[in-house]
A and B are shown apart, each in its own frame.
Chain A
Amino acid sequence: MTYALVSLSIPLLSALALMLAGARLSNRNAGIMAIVTSLLSLGAAWFCLLDVAAANQSILLNLGGWENGLAIRLRLSPLSSLLLLFTAFMHVLIGIYAGFSRRGVSRDFWTLSSLLHGSLAALWLSADLFNLYITLELLGLTAVAMVALAGKKAYKPAANYLILSLVASLFYLLGVALVYGRYGSLDVVLLGLQTQSDTTTRIALLVMTAGLMLKAALWPLHLWLPAAHANAPTAVSALLSGLVVKGPIFILWLLWSEVAPVDLAQQIGPVLAVAGMIALVAGGLSAMRSPYLKTLVAYSTVAQLGYAMMALGLLMAWQLPQMHVALWLFVIAHGLAKATLFLAAGEMQTTLGTKRVSGLRGATQTVPVAMFAFAVAGGSLIGLPPSGGFLAKWVLLEPMLSSPQNWPWAFGVLLGTLVSAAYIFRVVAISFDRARINPPDVRPDRLGHWLALLPALMVWGMALIGEWLIEFLSGGGV
């Protein structure tokens, strides 16, 4: 647990230091500091993972030594240790990209990204609804500020994002208040033992769910996402799609797998799963039609979150532990793949001087590494074996296929696969156009392109630890 606290506090302290230092620290030094602290946090997260793997169960900690019910309680489960590691890794990677590739970022980026890192780490460790609210609010505000870093053109999407984010937080807070009024407790573990499916609980859970779905851009509350993610600076887009939207999903998952009474979860589950299926297809179709590359990638996030929603919905409906595994494998595989897609898309845009998908003609020759990275990461989104996306899909499919009345769900996955293949290969096919090559404006930035490739290779590398991952996550989702 100590390691988890270290991993959580380092980025928060770093954010504080960066804020206090202000202009006294040069942009470059601020960047180095943020990267080094992320690295330290990554190291701590690694030891934390080893601890949990050795203990093979969740570790609880009451901050300040107060009793249950009074204290702020932190919980380190195998899942949260994995998410800590994942978050720290993404921050290191994207930090290096932002600091050393040709596309610079402003100094505020470093403060904000450290803050984002800290709030996400706190979110993964929280086991208390109010605590979660605070981390959620912090996360949302930081994310909005990061979108606005792109300058004037991003102000409008950032403002929209801010308003929706605040509304969503209010919804969530309302639910929290209702729960507190009804049960007098906000601790996830304690609530799990008490909740009953009466009207107050129902309303509270539904209101919270609506708020969280809006925050996570789950269909049909996703409309703010493409504009916000596509207009943010490249490094920010990667963080937003790869990590930020996963925060609310984590809370949603806690609510429905632990807090909510089982009969209520079983009623709502199929609705969520159907919404996920629609997200998969509708988001995919929008991605297929999008004329702009980054918008395409952003819509693909909407689509891919559909898988997560399906896994969550079916987890609730069937109460099957495999679905925990499927859900979090999707989240991690998607995070890695999406980081590559955004970094590669950003790099290709800068090099080729165009935002349009059609501007990628000849990209396999002009920006080979970035294009290859895009295709490889896309393969994981489609779910081609042996990528991480395939692992997740396989785990999701098994219970669907095991009895004939569940086969319609498998059809949804089939459809989702085909649509994802369509929008990914739409880009890939254009990049092979040699007849009308779009010449690059500047020489490709080697470091940026290779960094974009790294997470794509990692998501395929998940195959090597596939069996271990599945076992680790099913050993105790919570």
Chain B
Amino acid sequence: MSALFTWTSLLPVLIILSSLIPGLLIFATPEHARTRRTLLNMTGIAIKLILVALMLAGVSQGLTFRFEIPFLPSAPLVLHGDALSLQFIALSSILWLATTIYAIGYLEGSPLRSRFFGYFSLCVSATVGLALAGNLVTFLLFYELLTLSTFPLVVHRGTPAALKAGRVYLAYTLGGGTLLMMGVALLHSLVTTPDFTAGGYVLAQIEDSSLGLQIAFILMIAGLGVKAALVPLHSWLPQAMVAPAPVSALLHAVAVVKAGAFGIIRVVYDVYGVEASALLALTQPLLWLAAVTMIYASIRALQQQDIKRRLAFSTVSQVSYITLGVALAGPIAAVGAIVHLVHQGLMKVTLFFCAGNFAETLGIHKVQEMDGLGQRMPWTMAAFSVGALGMIGVPPVAGFISKIYLGMGALEVGQPWVVLLLAGSALLNAAYFLPLLYRGWFGKPPADGWQQDNFKNHRFETHWMLLMPALFTALLSLLVGIFAGSILSPLGWSEFIVSREFAQ
């Protein structure tokens, strides 16, 4: 009993509850009680940030945070806050703050906000639970809950197009979830389900059941690859763009695609371990898959004329950097992969906030309509530029750091072709982002005025709740790049994680 009630074991539960309880209360909040809803949201976020800070301090002091209740035979439900989960939790908590503020501004006056914010909080809870999951069965549980809580957000508008996208989304993610479940169950029948361990736990079984282990790996990666949008399992992502902008931001930067990428990191590092993955000949195919995704999605992005769709394909390409870093199976590449989890999140959320601002303020959805945007909305355009340049990998924005580490990691493990791949991808990124920046800053605004012009009488160029989050995340993407050398930066923390993973 005593183990249940120490603060170190309860903290992971509290971190989940800090968004779950406000979420449930928000469902019960009447539509017009705007202040109460905002208050609930903000209280939840504040509590979560404090708890996460507490856990960060604890983990860097070497404390362990572990909570366990029985569930299945030899597969309990375990919540475990380690350094890697904190990387993900810190990201999602901070972006939850930004996205909630953005969403309050974005949805002002629209119907069904209680439902929206309720599911929004559930979605964050599922993401955080997934990050804290201490074994595969717990991970699976939150992975499915994430699907269920994001579906209502994707179809929030309730239009035929939204429903269509929602069906596609469900078909992919539930299919993926089923594959993952099969993989987890298969692995459980081979080696049971212990906690995630740095260096993995399958090495002892490799002689006896290599085929089973390989199939379980393929099933799990296929299941995770759906959410991580690995080609050819990525088609749901561009379609899901019909969702409201804050949802797109959340899906792309934090919740869904990152859940997939994070799962891949867990499976390769903490379940199979780098050594066993290499022995089973699993990392090289994963590397190719990531490489194909990276290039293919960039080419597709180049063809898109809709800003959000272009960003969506860019997400597909960028998230595969994480998989690439994992598949390289070396410590430096691992740092690149884990740090990119955060960096891509910050940059991509900025881009989506800005795209949403263009659409909400001036009704701009297409690339061609972006001419002269910088004159009407300089701040948003500046934030957009920071994000775009970061994606290309221009120093000192965050993306540069990730790419450098991935490149060095590739050289370290003797796969120099990956450096060429990264360079090619950077060129493609430049090819699909720079025209947007050029049009925005140097194009001429339409002579007959903007097709619609909201928020004209506001103090800022757009509603302050839409502008501030974008500026905040843009600033963060700059800061984490500039101060990458500090131990408190995502890079410093990633190195801390990797030093543990590759300790053996």
Contacts and interface: CB of A to CB of B under 8 A. Distances in A.
Contacts of B365: none
Interface residues on B, range: 35 or more
Nearest to B147: A384
Residue of A362, A386, A433 contacting most chain B CB atoms (<10 Å): A386
B140 interface: yes
Interface string B165-203: 011001000110111011001101110000000000000
A417 interface: yes
B170 A425 contact: yes
B42 interface: no
Contacts of B77: 386
B141 interface: yes
Given A398-B189, A463-B71, A385 B137 contact: yes
Contacts of B73: 467, 470-471
Contacts of B148: 379, 384
Nearest to B177: A384
A315 B40 CA distance: 51
B62 interface: no
Interface stretch (B156-164, B343-351, B432-440): B156-164
Contact of B160 (A362, A435, A466): A435
A385 B170 contact: no
A394 B73 CA distance: 10
A397 B185 contact: yes
B152 interface: yes
Contact of A435 (B151, B158, B185): B158
A43 to B, nearest CB: 27
B163 A421 contact: no
Nearest to B209: A404
A410 interface: yes
Contact of A385 (B144, B160, B190): B144
A432 B160 contact: no
A338 to B, nearest CB: 20
A365 interface: yes
Contacts of A167: none
Interface string A423-434: 001001110111
Nearest to A391: B72
Contacts of B324: none
B157 A398 contact: no
A418 B155 contact: no
Nearest to B188: A398
Contacts of A433: 158, 160, 163
Nearest to B186: A401
A430 B162 CA distance: 11
Nearest to A416: B178
A425 B171 CA distance: 9
A223 interface: no
A364 interface: yes
Given A435-B160, A467-B71, A467-B72, A418 B141 contact: no
Given A384-B144, A467-B71, A429 B182 contact: no
Nearest to B137: A385
B50 interface: no
A385 B129 CA distance: 14
B185 A386 contact: no
Contacts of B181: 383, 385, 417
B413 interface: no
Contacts of A405: none
Contact of A432 (B152, B174, B182): B152
B174 A421 contact: yes
Contacts of B170: 421, 425, 429
Contacts of B188: 398, 401
Interface string A126-142: 00000000000000000
B185 A429 contact: no
B61 to A, nearest CB: 32
Contacts of A421: 170, 174, 178
A297 B335 CA distance: 50
A290 B157 CA distance: 27
Given A386-B77, A404-B211, A466-B70, A365 B174 contact: no
B202 to A, nearest CB: 15
Majority SS of interface residues in chain B? helix
Given A394-B185, A432-B155, A404 B212 contact: yes
Contacts of B71: 386, 463, 466-467
A414 interface: yes
Contact of B178 (A391, A418, A434): A418
Contacts of B177: 384
A379 B70 CA distance: 21
Contact of B140 (A385, A398, A428): A385
A463 B73 CA distance: 12
A314 to B, nearest CB: 15
B112 interface: yes
Nearest to A432: B155
A199 interface: no
A398 B158 CA distance: 40
A395 to B, nearest CB: 8
A27 B72 CA distance: 46
Interface string A373-408: 000000100111110000100100111011010000
A412 B155 CA distance: 31
Given A404-B211, A414-B182, A432 B144 contact: no
Given A421-B174, A429-B167, A364 B152 contact: yes
Interface in A340-380: 362, 364-365, 379
A471 B71 CA distance: 11
A410 B184 CA distance: 13
A56 B460 CA distance: 73
Contact of A417 (B159, B166, B178): B178
A425 B174 contact: yes
Contacts of A365: 112
A435 B111 CA distance: 13
A437 to B, nearest CB: 8
A294 to B, nearest CB: 23
A430 to B, nearest CB: 8
A474 to B, nearest CB: 9
Contacts of A429: 155, 163, 166-167, 170
A365 B113 CA distance: 12
Interface string A273-289: 00000000000000000
B70 A467 contact: yes
B157 A401 contact: no
Interface string A455-477: 00000000110111011000000
A108 to B, nearest CB: 39
B158 A434 contact: yes
B13 to A, nearest CB: 14
A470 B174 CA distance: 26
B167 to A, nearest CB: 5
A398 B144 contact: no
A401 B211 CA distance: 12
A401 B70 contact: no
Contacts of A364: 115, 152
A362 B158 CA distance: 8
18 contacts: A384-B144, A385-B140, A394-B185, A398-B188, A399-B189, A401-B185, A401-B186, A401-B188, A404-B212, A417-B178, A417-B181, A418-B174, A418-B175, A421-B178, A425-B170, A429-B170, A466-B72, A467-B72
Interface of A: 362, 364-365, 379, 382-386, 391, 394, 397-399, 401-402, 404, 410, 414, 417-418, 421, 425, 428-430, 432-435, 463-464, 466-468, 470-471
Per CB-CB distance, the 6 closest pairs between chain A and chain B, nearest first, are A434-B158, A467-B70, A385-B141, A401-B189, A432-B155, A402-B189
Given A394-B72, A425-B174, A429-B170, 6 more contacts: A386-B71, A386-B77, A418-B174, A432-B162, A467-B76, A468-B70
